[in-house]
Amino acid sequence: MMKPYIFILLSLYFTIYDVCAQNNVAKMSLNLDIPAVSIIDFAGTDNKILINSGKGAEQIINPSTLDRTWLNYSSIVEENTTNIISVNLSAWNLPSNMAIRLKVGENAGAGAGATGKPVGQILLSKYPQQVITGIGSCYTGRGIRKGHQLTYTWEGLFPVEDADDDSMENIEIAVTYTITSSI
Amino acid sequence: MLNKTKFSLLLILALALFPYKTVAQSYTPGEMITLNVTQYSLIATNNAPVNMVLSSSVAGTPVTSVSNSDMYVKISSIVPGGTHREISARIASGTVPAGTKLTLVSAPCTTTNSGGVLGTPFATPILLDGVDKELVDLIGTCYTGTGSTDGYRLTYTWSRDTSLDYGLLQATVTPVAITVVLTLTAHDSN
């Protein structure tokens, strides 16, 4: 009658014995921090590119820039927020009859994460316009054929028969890309 | 018969509660020595702050992994013949941010002020989670020294988990506090 109880009793003794022996612990405190990140940059072979890396990046384009540049970015966002990239002309000597159309390509897929969606094509102006939206935590990869390809098209707003072709070569336009939180 | 059973149960309950304070007295002398040994098998750290920041500084690149090797662990251990201890680690509180992983690995014990059977660290870093995993094995009777850079140097590495969607990463509003518990285990022959 007593034998099962003795077994239980012995089990309890050994359990307590083990707990005593394992009571040797040291605690370490760690702090892990992920700051929000939003940085953009250009990649391309065109030597007319001036790069001011950071939240805003300025690119000097001319009529030969065309589709030779790519937009790279890295982004880490807080919960329930996204980043957007806006574009505006920051310095220009554009003939009054000319406009520049910008087409932002789809992300080339070299990176990972929640890369943004291009809005399509816009006509550049001095007012910032959103070109890539819904950027979560992501990176595009760095270099050409990574990120979003930028295609500039120079358009005459109305025909000018006597346009001086040489004057086009001197045109330099500064275009600023800015990455900001959508909130 | 019923009363006898009840009495037996009460007796067992009383005895079960009893040994916390008097366990040593109820053992034979040999066992008592073992218990005393565990009481001064000690583990402590140099209390180095471990603050890590996961970020990227170049447009187009992912966050770069960060490491911290400031933490040293000191122990004193005496074991009965043929047995040894392990140092294991687990996360006791806090959650590693989504999309990232935290690993820990130990270097062999420093030799300047130490002596005895100091054990062998596992070469592969362990992935820290809520379950105890072994860092150092085969620790016998030894001491590591007491200086702030004596003992087993630990290296924490925090990185994105490449097996998960990068989009899971989120900026932390405030730094995430994690408590890692090291355990110097009971001696055994495993």
Residue A51 touches chain B, beta carbons under 8 Å: no
pLDDT of residue A18: 45
Residue A18 touches chain B, beta carbons under 8 Å: yes
Smallest CA–CA distance, residue A58 to chain B, in Å, is 14
Residue by residue, pLDDT tens for chain A (183 residues) are 456 666 655 555 554 444 444 448 999 999 999 999 999 988 886 655 566 656 678 888 888 888 889 999 999 999 999 999 999 998 888 888 889 999 999 999 999 999 999 998 999 999 999 999 999 999 999 999 999 999 999 888 655 555 555 566 677 888 999 999 986
Query: What is the DSSP secondary structure assignment for residue A69, as one 8-state letter?
Result: E
Residue B21: phi and psi, rounded to 5, are: -95, -25
Coil, strand or helix at A167 = helix
Strand A121-123 and strand A56-61: the pairing is unpaired
Residue A3: phi and psi, rounded to 5, are: -55, -45
- Across the range B147-160, mean pLDDT stands at 97
pLDDT category at B110 given cuts 50, 70, 90 is very high
With tokens 């346009």, the residue in question is A163
pLDDT category at B28 given cuts 50, 70, 90 is low
Residue A70 touches chain B, beta carbons under 8 Å: no
User: H/E element holding A42?
Assistant: strand A37-44
Cite the DSSP H helix spans in chain B.
Answer: 2-17, 19-22, 29-39
Chain A residues touching residue B71 (CB < 8 angstroms) = 28
Interchain proximity B179–A2, CB inside 8 Å: no
Whole-angstrom distance, CA of residue A23 vs CA of residue A29: 19
Residue B29: phi and psi, rounded to 5, are: -55, -40
- Rounded to two decimals, the pTM is 0.78
Whole-angstrom distance, CA of residue B50 vs CA of residue B67: 9
Angle, to 10 degrees, between the axis of helix B2-17 and the axis of helix A3-21? 10
CA nearest to A25 within chain B = B183
> Hey, CA dihedral for B5, B9, B14, B20, is it positive or negative?
positive
Other Cβ atoms less than 10 A from the Cβ of A103: the count is 16
CB A83 within 8 A of CB A135: yes
ipTM beyond 0.95?
no
